[in-house]
Chains A and B, each alone.
Chain A
Amino acid sequence: MMRRGGFNEEVELSIGQKLLRFNWLLAALLAAAATVGFLMLYSVAGGTLEGRAERQIILFALGFGAMMLVAMIDIRFWRRLSVLFYIGALGMLVLTHFFGETGKGAQRWLDLRFMQIQPSEPMKIALVMALAAFYHWLEPERVSRPFWVAVALLIALVPAALVLQQPDLGTTMLLLAGAGVVMFLAGVSWWYFGGVFMLVGAGVWAVFASKGASWQILKDYQYRRIETFLDPSKDPLGAGYHITQSTIAIGSGGLDGKGLLRGSQTHLRFLPEAHTDFIFTTLAEEFGFRGGIGLLSLYMLIIFVATLTAIRIGNMFGRLLAGGVAATFFFFFAINVAMVTGLAPVVGVPLPLVSYGGTSMLTLMFAFGLLLSAQVHGDSAAER
């Protein structure tokens, strides 16, 4: 019998044993981050739990339950399900492409009558699962072979392309970054990554170098958009408004912040989307540098614990899955914070566990469920 993924120890754990092995520390850290979210939603709503904060608590409770449930199920089951998951998510993306609802100028939502879902969210997980399963299956010698790298790229690029034309640049970047991390952790040669960086760099250079030249690559208005991206102060009332107001809010928070419910930028609604993408801004305005650094540290602690967990998992699928989930989580918050502090363009990435939003919350909790399942069943066999 071929054993490719890991150690073949046929162990069946009881629920009690599983709960004992369960990484409670990670679960507690996640709950802490979510609690910060409740507090900020309470503040944004003007000092009431009613409405969004309440719903967010319920969602988190549901998500937490789902996470426990997912974690209790054997990782081998999830591995077997990976391909199906991926195909399912891809199918939904295609459906969205044809029948999706349009909101805020992008076609992202799929109306299932009883609920609306955003298929790009589950795809973030499905892609990581699919690639993890792929590398679990692939012989290590072949990992860096061009053909197999191309296969992995294809797995990543098809959904990424579908999401990009919705258009949803933020999610596309998250998908590609997640896929890239899984490939990196799977051991794909450094040369490929170096090559990609070179290519991207050359592309960016070409775009800027061509401006005004006869072979100009983008249209003039696209350059203007890029300029606003890079320097929002050039258009303070238009596209740059959000970023300008966000940096003002963060900066005015100072070391200690203005205090809960006292953020003038948030409460006088200078800050747009304070409950979703810009919730970090409210935190930084009301709790200052201490609050912002506190949340960043909490996130990094989660990443640290997740990475440590991943390293200790005894099978390839689990490891890659855990590493991919941790990385996706990192990209979420890093892009969001970079965005609200004016370091990155506004691309519409929520702050994980804190921003209001059901799909994102459930997806994330499911992902952590997978990570924890991999951890709980870390030593179990992962036959082909």
Chain B
Amino acid sequence: MFDDRRERDRRATFTRRAIVLFGAQLGVAGVLGVRLYKLQIVDQAQYRKLAEDNRINPETIAPERGEIFDRAGAPLAVNRPNYTLSFIREQAKDLEKAIADLRALASLSDREVQSLRRKLKRSAKFKPVLVKEDLDWDTFARLNANAPALPGALLDVGLVRTYPEADKLAHVIGYVGAVTSRDLKRHKGDDRLLRLPGARIGKTGVELAAEKTLRGEAGVRRVEINAGGREVAEIDRIEGDPGSDLTLTIDLALQRYAMKRIEKESAAVVVMDCITGDLLVLASGPAYDPNKFVFGISQRDWDDLRRDEYDPLRNKALAGEYPPGSTFKMITAIAALEAGKISPRTSFTCTGRMKFGDRYFHCWKRAGHGRVDMLRGVKNSCDVYFYEAALSAGIDKIAEVARKFGVGEAPKLEIPNVRDGLLPTRDWVRKTYKRGWNGGETLNVGIGQGALLMTPLQMAVMTARIANGAEQVQARIVKAINGVELERAPFEPLDVSKDAIDIVKAGMFAVSNEPGGTAFRSRIADPENALAGKTGTAQVRRIGKEERAAGVKKNADLPWRLRDHALFVAFAPVKTPRYAISVIVEHGGGGSKAAAPVARDVLMRALYGPQPPLEAYPVHLRREIAKAREEAEKAKATGADPVKIMGE
């Protein structure tokens, strides 16, 4: 039948084509199978790794920064909780709403919102971006309570540096601040930690110099995360090493007193142990509050600090370079004796001035001192005597001896920016000015003027070595790390004759303890603890011929910037020297008036503690001090501000 045949044909066609189709389908399925084989068998290892990388996120654990203490264990730089708010872009559905919510709840300022937007633009959307730090507890609690409604908000408690002594030790401790790209360049190799959000790094002071020790080693925790970046489980963790605690040589009580004592002045005080080299006081005033820098100082505060005439940002104790003036005369004396050209008994006649070449070199006392030997020369600080002494020693000998006392070279301390000062020599003149040494320069250097520059720290080191007499005592600032006392390398011998040291010490004793000595009024009356010192007055301006003829102007008549620097160096007790001190009061006038009383007061606190006995003060001061103390007691009882006790 025709229809049947057609139907059979049609059915046959269908069957043929169905088989072809199934064959093709089998082929496609084969391709899929091969694809699975490639993915799952051939490239399995590669994909396993990718899956693990997806799943596991290594997170850096920030180690706790080492803390800093004074020699008795009082906290100087410590860590306190820091409540932070971060934001993960990816987790917020509606960015604008999220920002508006955060702004309202965390009371963000316009500037903070702008900075957040900037940071969001720069960083990957799954990375937390720091929104605000150091939230107060109320804000932090409010944010936490609202956390479920704030997708993307990440609340965390970290640690932040705080400086309980504020400005009392700012220049020594320094401060930490946010890591900048410059810091990253400077500290290569340990980016991981520095790139953590909210990371801090030492910017200056011990915080900078001992950064490696304080920072510690980062730990790693590997966490399982889901696609949203949320932590699911911790797989393992390798704890890092916390930073090491530092114990400084600083004596906090003494440091506080020194800072208070130079309040309102632009001044520096350095107290050093003559035997161990421990720096007990490194005071530079005025200072600043390092706490302001931890979260970034405001432009206004910064400008105030920058514009202050007293330069609070400079550490005058280590980085202030001054002509040492008469405080250098001990070196000249020792050099002259070491050169063997004069003996302590050799005397010169001071007529108030001395002619050298075609120039007159003046003594500070116009009338002159008459016949002056070494003891009197030191005691009265006679310039003409030291012109002669310097000439007999020669600049080379002076430089050689000066180096033994630490002049011209920065002591190695765990503080950045300790300056070298300047010790002028023939080589230096040749290199700098391309000329030969000029004889007159020897005279100027002999009285601590000319190109000679020293830092207060160097003056303290110089005095400590004179007091010690035997060794080149080295200054140090770090006493112990993690409570383990650092071992001191033995000091090199001073290599200066004992006779020379003794006569210089005797001169310094006379300065402070004999009537007519330049610092007699600032003596310690207790013979057991008597101090021996040397005043200095460093000229800041040049005195012209006309002015000298008309009479040198008094400091009080000059603007502050042009007044002389007041200097004083001393050690005590004289019999068994323990403490060396240097004081500079910038533009303070004469050393005996402005600097010596500060040194005496600080030394008294070092020797006797906070309340030195009245008997230790010179008689003329006792009544005044007793009265001041009485008033202070009264003020304390009534709760008013205690009156400052200063002496003289």
> What residues of chain A have their CB less than 8 Å away from a CB belonging to chain B?
3-4, 6-7, 140, 181, 184-187, 245, 247-255, 264-265, 268-271, 284, 288-289, 292-293, 296, 299-300, 303-304, 307, 310-311, 316, 319-320, 323, 327, 330, 334, 337-338, 341-343
Q: A187-B13, A252-B47 given; name 14 further pairs at CB < 8 Å.
A: A4-B3, A140-B10, A187-B14, A247-B39, A248-B50, A250-B40, A253-B44, A296-B36, A311-B15, A334-B25, A341-B32, A341-B35, A341-B36, A343-B32
Residues of chain A within 8 A (CB-CB) of B11 are 319
Considering only CB atoms, which chain A residue lies closest to B31 in the complex? A343
Known contacts A269-B226, A341-B35: does B25 contact A300 (CB below 8 Å)? yes
Cα(A300)–Cα(B41), bound, Å: 22
Q: Which residue of B lies closest to A139 (CB)?
A: B6
Q: A286–B39 Cα gap in the complex (Å)? A: 14
Contacts of A288 in B (CB 8 A): 40
Any A CB within 8 A of the CB of B367: no
CB-defined contacts of A330 to chain B, threshold 8 Å: 25, 28
Measured between beta carbons, the chain B residues less than 8 angstroms from A255 are 40-41, 44
Among candidates A185, A264, A299, A341, residue contacting B17 with C-beta atoms closer than 8 Å: A185
Tell me whether B637 is interfacial, beta carbon within 8 Å.
no
* Shortest distance from the beta carbon of A355 to any chain B beta carbon, whole Å: 16
13 A–B pairs (Cβ distance < 8 Å), ordered by A: A184-B21, A185-B18, A187-B14, A251-B39, A252-B51, A254-B41, A268-B224, A271-B227, A293-B33, A303-B25, A319-B11, A334-B32, A343-B31
Shortest beta-carbon distance from B425 to chain A in Å: 66
Give the Cβ gap from B316 to chain A, nearest Cβ, in Å.
55
CA distance A319 to B14 in the complex (A): 8
Q: Smallest Cβ distance from A305 to chain B, in angstroms?
A: 11
- Interface status of B184 (Cβ within 8 A of chain A): no
B149 at the interface (CB under 8 A from A): no
Are A296 and B29 CB-contacts (below 8 A) given A251-B48, A319-B11, A341-B39? yes
Decide if B54 touches A270 in the complex (CB within 8 Å): yes
Are the C-beta atoms of A292 and B6 separated by less than 8 Å? no
Least distance between B168 CB and chain A CB atoms (Å): 52
A360–B360 Cα distance when bound, in Å, is 113
A319 surroundings in chain B (CB, below 8 A): 11, 14
- Bound form: Cα–Cα A136–B486 in Å: 102
A187 to B17: give the CA distance in the assembly, Å.
8
CB of B55 within 8 A of CB of A292, answer no
Closest B residue to A327 by CB, please name it.
B21
Task: Tell me whether A269 and B51 are in contact (CB under 8 A).
Answer: no
Chain A residues near B10: list those with CB within 8 A: 140, 187, 316
A337's partner among B32, B51, B54, B224 (CB-CB below 8 A) is: B32
Q: A248-B50, A300-B26 are in contact. Are A253 and B40 (CB under 8 A)?
A: yes
CA distance A343 to B3 in the complex (A): 46
CB within 8 Å of A: which of B239-292? none
B residues contacting A by CB (< 8 A) are: 3, 6-7, 9-11, 13-15, 17-19, 21-22, 25-26, 28-29, 31-33, 35-37, 39-41, 43-44, 46-48, 50-52, 54-55, 224-228, 232
- Kindly list the 6 A-B residue pairs having the minimum CB-CB distance in the complex, ordered from nearest: A251-B47, A252-B51, A268-B226, A289-B40, A251-B39, A269-B227
Distance A140 CA – B35 CA, assembled complex (angstroms): 40
Q: Name the distance in Å between B96's Cβ and chain A's nearest Cβ.
A: 22
CA of A253 to CA of B46, assembled, Å = 11
Flag if B21 contacts A323 (CB, 8 Å): yes
Choice from B29, B36, B232 contacting A289 with Cβ under 8 Å: B36
A97 to B232, CA, bound (A): 44
Q: How far is the CA of A319 from the CA of B26 in the complex (A)?
A: 20
Smallest CB separation, A245 vs chain B (Å): 8
Task: Give which listed residue, B35, B39, B48, B228, contacts A269 with CB less than 8 A.
Answer: B228
> How distant is A345 from chain B, measured CB to nearest CB, in Å?
15
Q: A140-B10, A187-B13 are in contact. Are A251 and B40 (CB under 8 A)?
A: yes
User: Which single residue of chain A is at the shortest CB-CB distance from B29?
Assistant: A300
Which residues in B have their C-beta under 8 angstroms from that of A296?
29, 32-33, 36
Q: Which residue of B lies closest to A270 (CB)?
A: B227
Q: Would A247 and B14 count as touching, CB distance under 8 A?
A: no
Q: Which residue on chain B has the smallest CB distance to residue A288?
A: B40
CA of A319 to CA of B10 in the docked complex: distance in angstroms? 11
Question: Do B22 and A6 touch (CB < 8 A)?
Answer: no
Q: Which of A184, A187, A292, A327 contacts B40 (CB 8 A)?
A: A292
Are B55 and A268 in contact, with the CB atoms below 8 A? yes
Min Cβ gap A301→B in Å is 11
**Which A residues are in CB contact (< 8 Å) with B7?**
6-7, 316
Q: Which of B21, B28, B48, B224 contacts A185 (CB 8 A)?
A: B21
Judge whether A248 and B17 touch: CB under 8 Å.
Answer: no
Q: Is the CB of A268 within 8 A of B47?
A: no
Residues of A within 8 A of B9 (CB): 140
- B145 CB, nearest partner CB in chain A, Å: 27
Return chain B residues, CB-CB under 8 Å to A304: 22
Contact partner of A140 (CB less than 8 A), chosen from B6, B32, B37, is B6
A140 partner residues in chain B, CB cutoff 8 A: 6, 9-10
B contact residues around A342 at 8 Å (CB): 35
Residues in chain A near residue B31, CB distance under 8 A: 343
A121 CB to nearest B CB, Å: 22
* A184 B17 Cβ-Cβ under 8 A: yes
Residues of B within 8 A of A4 (CB): 3
Q: Is the CB of A293 within 8 A of B51?
A: no
CA of A323 to CA of B21, assembled, Å: 10
Chain B: CB-nearest residue to A293: B33
Q: How far is the CB of B37 from chain A (nearest CB, A)?
A: 7
Tell me the minimal C-beta distance from B235 to chain A in angstroms. 12
| Closest partner residue, chain B, to A241 (CB atom) | B227
Task: Name the contact of A252 in the complex, choosing from B19, B32, B48 (C-beta under 8 A).
Answer: B48
